Amino acid sequence: MIHCACAIFVRDKRILLGKRSPDRSTCPDCWDVIGGHVEPGETVQQALIREAEEETGVIPLRFVLAGRLQYEAEHHFFTVFKWQGGEPRALGNEHTELRWFTIDEACALNPLALPEYPTFFRTLQILN
């Protein structure tokens, strides 16, 4: 089973999503959370920190497990309330842009990377 670590950055009752690059083999041009595959020998938490730093340039400091979804892999979602490194920014070729959304705005995006996202996003406890 493939495992993915996913960061849901939270600020001012908004979540951070990235628009996946059009050349990505998985979910091209879709809005998605930050994250990726857990590498051999890594914990899910270590993968979360590595993926967040690779994709946004920031390091999660305070995060809690928000839930899991099964969709072609087991996705472990963490709500990230505190990070270091300033404002998250799109690094590398994973995303073409990053943007903050309210839950309602995020649920209305089309296309989203996972069909379960609207239901899942509405369960998030984002009051920090």
What are 10-39's pLDDT values in tens digits?
999 999 999 999 999 889 999 999 999 999
Residue 10, both tokens: 């939270």
- For residue 23, give the amino acid letter: D
Q: Which pLDDT belongs to residue 128?
A: 46
Question: In order of start, what are the domains of the chain with their CATH numbers?
Answer: 3-123 (3.90.79.10)
Q: Which pLDDT belongs to residue 127?
A: 56
Q: What is the CA radius of gyration of the chain?
A: 13
